[in-house]
Amino acid sequence: MSLRVKYVKSAVLKTDYPLDRRPEVAIVGRSNAGKSSLINALAQKDIAKVSQQPGKTSTLNFFLCNEEFYLVDMPGYGFAKRSAKEKTLWKNMIEGYLSHRKNLKGLLLIMDIRRKWGLEEQMLAEWVAERGHPIFVILNKTDKAKQGERVKAQRLVGANEFVSMVFCVSSTQKKGLETLQENIYEQWLKEES
């Protein structure tokens, strides 16, 4: 089940956000975790720009899905080489959006399944929970991990009190996407319809 996805706009300031009241689901994660690849896999076409260079996404990118809701592709955190000024601008843009956007229904925190849950993920999950937003964790690149590693990673991340649900996904092999999509609708968008 693919989504009909179209790019709508990029924004830095809240005055640039879409003006309609459709619900929004933000995609967050480390640089190069696969945020844009996830959007492309859900859409079953290349609509979000994917780069091997960390930190390529520098704005909030709004993608309209099935004319019902937006996926918001956010800049990654972690090892992107940016100036202190750019990092401060990103921080203000991201925190401003996550703190004040009324349309925001939840966050998809995407991470490479081969990485351990770290301090940055924990701080993000706690910070988001304090603002009342649920968070789904997407363990991406499952095609690069053995079955036992997938089960262990899912169990460890799922035990975190700030995580609502955990999904194992392979954007390249298009696995696990349907379950993720169904849960986004069921948990976050159903009351909007």
Contacts of 30 (CB under 8 A, 6+ apart): 76, 77, 78, 79, 111, 112, 115, 120
CATH classification of the domain holding 106:
3.40.50.300
Does the structure show a pLDDT above 80 at 191?
no
Q: What is the pTM of this model?
A: 0.90
- Contact (Cβ atoms closer than 8 angstroms) between residue 100 and residue 16: no
Q: How far, CA to CA in Å, does 104 sit from each of 59, 95, 98?
A: 17, 13, 8
pLDDT tens-digit readout, 65-118 = 999 999 999 988 765 566 667 667 767 888 899 999 999 999 999 999 999 999
pLDDT tens-digit readout, 11-28 = 988 999 999 999 999 999
Q: How many domains does the chain have?
A: 1
d(CA 33, CA 117): 13
Domain of residue 58 covers 5-192
Does the structure show a pLDDT above 60 at 2?
yes
pLDDT of residue 93: 87
